[in-house]
Amino acid sequence: MQFNTYTVAGAQVAVWLVNHPVPGARDLTATLRSHDVHEPAATDANALALRPWAIRLREVFEAGTVPEKAGLADALLAAADCRPRLVSHGAGQPFHLHYAPVRTGLAPRVRALTAAGLAHVIDSGWGTRLRACDRAGCGVAFLDTSRNGRRHFCSVRCANQVNVASHRRRQRQRTAPGG
């Protein structure tokens, strides 16, 4: 599966925020820096401001259908006041999209970036790849980047736990009296 680097950054930051709904400023800064977000230095106030946003992002991953995901992502775009702009950070630097003005605070820029990232994934026909783990009690959000796009679990560990439990249940049913 091929994604534009900047597009996937917004979706991956969204995944991270959903899975870290109470981020610390240091971890938030490190995550944003790892995805090449411009001026990523976060404060505790930035992290606090993104907590309600993480809850709204989670709704997209947990929605059952692509139209539901699209409706939620569209509402996020509006709520983030996402306004794409072509930006270059200096002479000779390539132009790329920013989804909020560079001078805007970090939290609004992250809201716009994550809303746009999820919208790009859905627009590309990969809305079914925005998922929450199917293992009961897990709920980890992920972007399925596998070749066939059919992952149902956030990790091999969760998949194995579900498969082993299913196997044991079938074994018990076979050995039960009258089974």
Structure confidence at residue 157 (pLDDT): 93
Calpha distance 78→5 (Å, rounded): 23
Structure confidence at residue 41 (pLDDT): 94
CATH number (domain holding residue 105): 1.10.3300.10
Structure confidence at residue 93 (pLDDT): 85
Q: Which alpha helices (H) appear in 3-98, and where do they start and end?
A: 5-19, 25-34, 44-62, 66-79
pLDDT above 80: residue 153:
yes
Structure confidence at residue 4 (pLDDT): 54
The total domain count for the chain is: 1
pLDDT above 60: residue 2:
no
Domain that holds residue 89: 5-175
- CB–CB of 55/26 below 8 Å? no
Write the DSSP symbol of residue 146: S
Calpha distance 37→138 (Å, rounded): 29
Write the DSSP symbol of residue 124: T
pLDDT digits (tens, 9 = 90+) for 43-101: 999 999 999 999 999 999 999 999 999 999 999 999 999 999 888 888 888 888 889 98
